[in-house]
Amino acid sequence: MYDREYHQVNEPTTLPIILALLEMSTKYDFQAIRREVIQHLSLYYTTHPESAPHMRLLVFAEDQDASKDANFRLLAAARRCNVRSILPMLFYVCSIEPLDTIFEQSNQLNPEDFKRLISGRETLITRIKNFGRTMLQPCMKCGNDLCFDTRARMHLRWINCEYTPNVFPLGAISGGIKGMGKSEEYPQLCRTCVDESSVRLHFFRTGFCGGLPRIFNLGNWGDLEDDDLETESESESP
């Protein structure tokens, strides 16, 4: 029998426990347990990724050494158990792993999902370059020569991946323009450009986060959440 102390929503757990509960609750149609597991996973693999850069929630307990294949195993399990609402963020966190890790874990995924992952990663790389241009506006004169020169220099390094070669959109969104250059460069930006970058950051965040499922060819957020609700309703129908 399932012991309620075995797993509690909102409390860090272990990968084997979360996988076992998800598989068991789906196989034997234990909807209350399945709902709790999905709720727990949704705290991290959220349907509101605009808040993800600021989240410090633990999926697994601190004393658990989660293996580097944890996200890939969760992605495969979510596919098997038809938990669609957490797929976009799972694909995202898997796609930003180093390429050698992605290829090492390719056996966890079916060929179509592996293709989604690689294609999505390429799109993310394009988006991060767009982020640099959007935030820094390297061709825009602002009346402050030092600011203009600094933005142009920061943008050149950004598109050449010389400063933050491993950054991806959600991490970049979290840092904003302040996280895009060296510590001595931010004070060289004029107040007008800094203020305008905050507005541009908001629009980039909204567009990127809202369109994240489409980057991995998963449809849209509403459909994914509706699919989970329909799966639950079908299971509860007599």
Number of Cβ atoms within 10 Å of the Cβ of 117: 23
Name which of 61-65, 124-128, 144-148, 150-154 the model is least confident about: 61-65
Give the tens place of pLDDT for each residue, 173-203: 988 999 898 889 999 999 999 999 999 999 9
| Residues with Cβ within 8 Å of residue 33, at least 6 apart in sequence | 2, 21, 24, 25
DSSP characters over 60-103: B-TTS---TTHHHHHHHHHHHTT--TTHHHHHHHHHTS-HHHHH
CA 238 to chain centre: 37
Give the tens place of pLDDT for each residue, 81-137: 999 999 999 999 999 999 999 999 999 999 999 999 999 999 999 999 999 999 999
- How large is the average pLDDT for residues 132-159? 95
**What would you report as the CA-atom Rg of the chain, rounded to the nearest whole angstrom?**
21
Rounded to whole angstroms, the Cα distance separating 127 from 123 reads 6
* Coil/strand/helix, residue 159: helix
